[in-house]
Amino acid sequence: MGARGSESEREVAELWRGRVSDFDTVLARLREDGIDTSNLSVDDVNKVDLMHMGGADSTDELTERAGITGGMEVLDAGCGIGGTSRRIAYRTGAKVTGLDLTPRAVETGNRLSEHLGIADRVESVHGSVTDMPFDDDRFDVVIVQHCAMQVEEKDRLFSEVARVLRPGGLLAMHDWFAGRATPLLYPLPWADGPETSFLEPLDDAIARLRAHGFTPEPFIDQTEKGVEWLTRTRTAIDRHLAEGGELTQTQQRNIGISQTMIPNLSEGGLVLGFLFARSADQSRDS
Ligand SMILES: C[S@@+](CC[C@H](N)C(=O)[O-])C[C@H]1O[C@@H](n2cnc3c(N)ncnc32)[C@H](O)[C@@H]1O
């Protein structure tokens, strides 16, 4: 975390310190899911390293909609253990830098990237999205995937994104926004209570982006898709249990998530979707 790390960032880092898997645990989870870990691919590891709704399909949709191609420099802000960073680098050839507040997430991410032989194109760095350790105008695209919902200082997040994006670069968000129905059911995947959740309504996020010089594109709502995904995942687990199967750690976690997240999404407490916004086209010096 940057030197100016706030109280809420300390709480968020503490939450993820207890939740993020180390390298050996990732391999153990893959083996538990029946994957041969002697010759792993990025696709294999993506079964357990993507910490967001919709898994690899939503990462691919985000990548395609953002138009990411080889030769681009991408920042994955709030990268977790680097699943999205590796998937983008592997599928497009882009160079991806991940940034995360949680030291263990950075360490696990870098070990996985080395293990998969992709570390020349993917690197995770420790720090906060509100105080980024990068030069101005460096990136073509900044991804914010399931991270903004947990950032209290949203003006600092967007001003830092605007600073590190090249003029006319793209912010590609896949994130959570506050819906009209309250209160929310906890736990959320990123919070046991309000201390580590900082959701804002979509309209507020759009106004904030404009204030930071971005031109937002129309929101692509994924809330219903999120309910379908959670319901499909839950049905598959229930079928597995009915057939006498034992639950893996991943399945146990997904049961817990579905119990609160299906009502939160289907009853209007949460909004999920893609929000793209271009940074101002002229150089900051002109
Ligand atoms: C739900 S996980 C998503 C990880 C990743 N984007 C993915 O989709 O797989 C949220 C991540 O955001 C990180 N995070 C939260 N607040 C942050 C901040 N202020 N700066 C950097 N990372 C942050 C957490 O440490 C955690 O790893």
Does residue 260 form part of some domain?
no
Indicate whether residue 175 lines ligand 1 (CB < 6 A).
Answer: no
Domain that holds residue 130: 7-222+271-278
- Give the residue from 182, 106, 147 showing the smallest Cα distance to 12: 147
Q: In the chain, how many domains are there?
A: 1
User: How do residues 7-44 score in pLDDT, each as one tens digit?
Assistant: 999 999 999 999 999 999 999 999 988 999 999 999 99
Angstrom distances, CA of residue 201 to CA of 69, 99, 179, 286: 31, 25, 6, 34
> Which band of pLDDT confidence, cut at 50, 70 and 90, is reported for residue 217?
very high
DSSP H or E segment with residue 167: strand 165-178
Give the max Cα distance, the chain: 67
- Give the residue from 233, 265, 264 showing the smallest Cα distance to 250: 233
Does residue 156 form part of some domain?
yes
Give the residue, 243 or 196, on which the prediction is more confident.
196
**Strand bridging mode 215-216 / 270-278:** antiparallel
Pocket test for ligand 1, best of 143, 145, 150 (most atoms within 8 A of CB): 150
Does residue 173 form part of some domain?
yes
CA distance 97 to 94: 10
Q: Is 40 left (phi over 0), alpha (psi -120 to 50) or beta?
A: beta
CA of 240 to the centre of ligand 1 (A): 31
Nearest-CA residue for ligand 1 atom 12 is 78
Say what the pLDDT of residue 2 is.
44
Q: Residue 126's domain is classified under what CATH number?
A: 3.40.50.150
Is pTM beyond 0.85? Reply is yes
**Residue 136, SS3 per DSSP:** coil
Does residue 171 form part of some domain?
yes
